Amino acid sequence: MSKTNPSLVPSGRSLSLLGKANLQQYVVYLGFLAIFLFFAIVLRDSGFLTVRNLSNIVLQTAPVTIMAIGLVFVLSAGEIDLSIGSIVAVSALAGAVAMNGYGITAGIAAGLCAGLLIGLVNGVLVAYVRLPSFLVTLATMGLFAGVARSLTDLRSIPVTNSAFTGFFGSGTLLGIPSLVWWTVGAICIGHIVYRHTRFGAHVLATGDNNRAASVSGISVPRIRLTVLMMSGVLASLAGLLYAGRLQAAKYTLGETDLMTVIAAVIVGGTLLNGGKGSIIGALVGSLMMGMLNNGLILMGLSVSDQMIVRGLIILAAVAVSLREKSR
């Protein structure tokens, strides 16, 4: 079609920009591949390439990946959600307590409702009270970290329901671990919603130019509310996965995840200030974070050195992906 269209003449300038745009999309994949090859060579005798180790990476990153999906939507809409770590803890604890009292269905429902409600609180404050999401979720992060601590008086709650731990943690279906199913399912649904629905398009438009979205008939407040609620529910799902895997819920669950999730999402090509992002990129970013943790431990580095090297690699990855993105 465009071949016969004289008005669609590409200028040289636009062509080069297009080429650049394509390259930048692949930075995360190239980075992932480079790190993978590096570890595969350096750690060839240290068990890095064993199926067991590689599947560990995927299983360990499942909750971070699930949270990352929510954050891609939130960042794309021009907002941020710092409270996801606290939602993980509150949901896991609420789920564990409800399950021990009233069974598995109640447990799952309680866990997911906790995330939904916290997301609702965040969303209403951001979308309708018009407070900045950074401050709202900074506050709810602290607030619900406190709730998680007081909920069970700092106690860990054991999760003994084997249906639950199988469903969310250590079980398998058709020989494939349940955490892999959760990851694949969430990524597929997240990707389709993000790239192929009107909602996804409206999220991007809102984060890109909320005035343009608004005059185009998109309800910007509703988009903001929805993405924060999605983020809440996905973080609570991550909390249930943690509880299933650990067979216990604890207030420290998710506490250290926020920075990992943000790094995974940004490295995966989602802009911090909205309008652009990638669900698949976030998956690769999350796996990259998990692989880094894993590989640096297997290299036998001291804990301090691991932190330094990880920080430098994330810095390099972010520098490359962001530099390519800005003109």
Residues 139-178 touching another protein, rule: CB under 8 A, are: 153-158
* Closer by beta carbon to another protein, 140 or else 210: 210
Rg of the chain taking only CA atoms, in angstroms? 21
Q: Determine if 202 is a binding residue for another protein (CB under 8 A).
A: yes
Task: List the one residue from 102, 216, 308, 315 that touches another protein (CB under 8 A).
Answer: 216
* Closer by beta carbon to another protein, 125 or else 220: 220
| Piece of the chain touching another protein by CB under 8 A; list 56-64, 67-75, 137-145, 181-189 | 56-64
- The torsion angles phi and psi of 295, rounded to 5 degrees, stand at -65, -40
Percentages helix, strand, coil for the chain (3-state, rounded to 5) are: 75, 0, 20
Query: In the stretch 58-97, what mask flags binding to another protein with x, by CB under 8 A?
Result: --x--x----------------------------------
Query: In the stretch 252-291, what mask flags binding to another protein with x, by CB under 8 A?
Result: xxxxx--------------x---xx---------------
Q: Determine if 100 is a binding residue for another protein (CB under 8 A).
A: no
Q: Determine if 211 is a binding residue for another protein (CB under 8 A).
A: yes
Other residues' Cβ atoms within 10 Å of the Cβ of residue 261: 29
24 by DSSP, 3-state: which?
helix
Q: Determine if 3 is a binding residue for another protein (CB under 8 A).
A: no
Other residues' Cβ atoms within 10 Å of the Cβ of residue 166: 14
Using CA of residue 149, residue 121, residue 130, residue 262, what is the dihedral sign? positive
Measure Cα distances from 43 to 18, 148, 298 in Å.
38, 39, 7
Q: Which of residues 235-254 bind another protein (CB under 8 A)?
A: 242, 245-248, 250, 252-254
Q: What is the DSSP string of 49-115?
A: TSHHHHHHHHHHHHHHHHHHHHHHHHHHTT---TTHHHHHHHHHHHHHHHHHHH-HHHHHHHHHHHH
Minimum CB separation of residue 301 from another protein in Å reads 7
| Piece of the chain touching another protein by CB under 8 A; list 1-9, 137-145, 224-232, 278-286 | 1-9
